[in-house]
Structure 1
Amino acid sequence: MNKNISHLVASIVSIPVALIAGMLSMIAFDIHLIFDMMIAAGAFFSSYLPVQTKSMRSQLEKMGITKSEYQHVKKQLSEAREKMKRLRQSYKNVRTLKDAKLIYDINRLSRTIYQAVENDPKLFFSIQQFFHSNLDSAVNTIEQYLFLYKMPGKTKDEKIKLHETRISLFELKRTIQSNLSAMNATGYQNLEVEKDIIKLNRKRKTTTLKLDNQMEKKKVNLKKEEKEPVYQDRGEHDEGRK
C-alpha cells in the first residue's frame, strides 16, 4: 500500500490550516513571532494526524484488511527486504553462468512477489509460505552453496553434495513459481469473469442486431404487400353501362 497517499492528503489539508492559524495569530493576538510559529505548528499537527489516520483507515477498508494485519505485513516486508538484499549480494560469489542464471531467476521471482505484496498487502495472506519459509531457504542455501563451491580441494563426495544442493535449488525455484501462481490465482479468476461478461455482452449485442434486422425486413415486406388502388378503364366503364 502506498502510504505516501495518506501523507499527501494530510499535508494538503494541514498546510493551509497551519498558514491560516499563523496569520490569525499575528493579526489577532499581536504576540512574538515564535509564538505565532508555535501556534501554526500546533494547528498543522492537530489537523495532520486525524486526516492521515482517516485516509489510512479508508485505504485499509478498500483493501479489506485491518490495521494490525497491515502492521504484520509491513513487518514481514521489512524482513524480506533484508533477505533479498543478501540474495542480490550473492552474485559476487557466483562462479558459473548456470549458477548466475539460477540465482537470477530466484531473485526475479522473489522480487515480483515482494513488489506485488507491497502494492497490495492483502495478497500476503495467499502466499505466506514464501515469506515464512521459502525465501529464507533460498537465501541461506544459496549463500552456503556459493561459499562451499569456491573452496579448493573438494572431494568427490563434496562435489556430489554440491550437485545435489544445486538440484534442490531448482526445486526451490519451482516452489517459488508455485507461490507466484497461487498469488495470481484470484487475478486469473477475475480475468475469466471479465471474459465471460465480454462474451455475454457481445452475444446480447449480436442478438439485438439480428432482431433489428428482422424488424427492418418485416417493415419492407409490409410495404411491398400494400396494394395500390386499381382504377378501371373509362371505356370499359361506359361499355358496361350499355
Structure 2
Amino acid sequence: MNKFLLRFMQTGAAIPFSAFIWLLAFTGFDQTFWMSSFYGFIGGGVMFLGLGLYLQKRFLEKNRLTMKEYKYIKRNLKEANVKINRIQKSLFSIRHIRSLKQRIELVRLVKNIQKLNSREPRRFFKAEQFYFSHLDSIMELSEKYAFLSSQPAKNRELEYSLNETQDTLKDLTKIVEKDLNYMLEEDLDHLNFEIDVAKHSIKKRNEIPDETRRLK
C-alpha cells in the first residue's frame, strides 16, 4: 500500500469533513467558535482514522492477507530495500565496461521483483527464496567484487577471483530471472488462456459467413 497516497486520501477526506462539522456546530447548533473548532477537529480525526482503517482493510482483503502477514511482508521488504541499495552502490562502483550491461540487467531484475512485491504483497510468498537466499548472495558477492576490483595492484590470483565472481553473478542473474518468471507464472497462464479464448472467438466468427453462404 502506497503510504503517501493513503495519507493524501485520508487528509483529502478529513479536511472537508472537519470544516463541515465546524460549520454545522457553529451555525446549526449555536456553538462557540472554539467549541465548533473542537468538534471539527474531533470529526476530522475520526474521518482520518476511520478512512485509513477502511482502506487498509480493503487492501488486505484484495491481497488475501491478514494483518500479521502484511506486517511480516512489509518488514522483509524494508530490509530488502537496504540490501538492494547496497547492491546497486557496489555494482555501479565497479569500473569494468564489459560487465556493465550484465550488472545493469541484474539490478533491473532485482528492482522489478521488489517493485512487484511492494505493489502486490501477496506475491511475496512466491519470492521467499529470492529474499532469503538469492538476494543475500548477490549483496555479498557484489560488495566483495567491488572491493577487489578497486585494488590498484592485481595479480593472477586476484584476476582469477574477479573472473569467478563475475561468472557467479551472471549465474545469479539467470536465477533471479527465473524467480521473477515464477512470480509471474499465474499471470502468464491467465494471459495464455485469454489469448486462446480470443483466438477461438475470432475463428468462430470468421466461420459464420461461410456457413451462412452454404445455407443460401
Residues paired across the two proteins, number = 215
Report the Cα offset of residue 60 of structure 1: 2.2
* Contact 1:117–1:124, Cα closer than 8 Å, also in 2: yes
User: 1:84-134 CA distances to partner (integer Å, 9 max, x unpaired)?
Assistant: 222222255312112333321211111111111122112211111111121
1:135 equivalenced with 2:135 (yes/no) = yes
The corresponding residue for 1:235 is: none
More displaced stretch, 167-176 vs 65-74: 65-74
What's the secondary structure of 1:104's corresponding residue? helix
Matched ranges for 1:109-120 at <5 A: 109-120=109-120
**Which one-letter code corresponds to 1:179 in the other structure?**
D
**Alpha-carbon distance in structure 1 between the residues aligned to 2:163 and 2:91:** 19
1:104 equivalenced with 2:104 (yes/no) = yes
User: Which structure 1 residue ranges, 5 or more long, are not aligned?
Assistant: 218-242
**Alpha-carbon distance in structure 2 between the residues aligned to 1:171 and 1:4:** 37
User: 1:25-54 CA distances to partner (integer Å, 9 max, x unpaired)?
Assistant: 2232432x3433222111011122222212
* Contact 1:138–1:169, Cα closer than 8 Å, also in 2: yes
The corresponding residue for 2:144 is: 144
**Which one-letter code corresponds to 1:205 in the other structure?**
R
User: Which structure 2 residue ranges, 5 or more long, are not aligned?
Assistant: none
Q: Which has the larger radius of gyration?
A: 1
What's the secondary structure of 2:87's corresponding residue? helix
The corresponding residue for 2:14 is: 14
Matched ranges for 1:161-172 at <5 A: 161-172=161-172
**Which one-letter code corresponds to 2:157 in the other structure?**
D
TM-score, normalised relative to structure 2: 0.87
More displaced stretch, 92-101 vs 2-11: 2-11
Matched ranges for 1:1-242 at <5 A: 1-3=1-3, 6-27=6-27, 28-31=29-32, 33-91=33-91, 93-215=93-215, 217=216
**Alpha-carbon distance in structure 2 between the residues aligned to 1:201 and 1:155:** 66
**Alpha-carbon distance in structure 1 between the residues aligned to 2:209 and 2:92:** 65
**Alpha-carbon distance in structure 2 between the residues aligned to 1:121 and 1:71:** 10
Summarize the Cα distance change of 1:141–1:45 in structure 2 as closer, same or farther, 3 Å threshold: same
**Alpha-carbon distance in structure 1 between the residues aligned to 2:158 and 2:206:** 69
Cα RMSD for the two superposed structures? 2.2
TM-score, normalised relative to structure 1: 0.79
What's the secondary structure of 1:64's corresponding residue? coil
**Which one-letter code corresponds to 1:212 in the other structure?**
T
**Which one-letter code corresponds to 1:47 in the other structure?**
M
More displaced stretch, 84-93 vs 131-140: 84-93
**Alpha-carbon distance in structure 2 between the residues aligned to 1:208 and 1:135:** 54
**Which one-letter code corresponds to 1:84 in the other structure?**
I
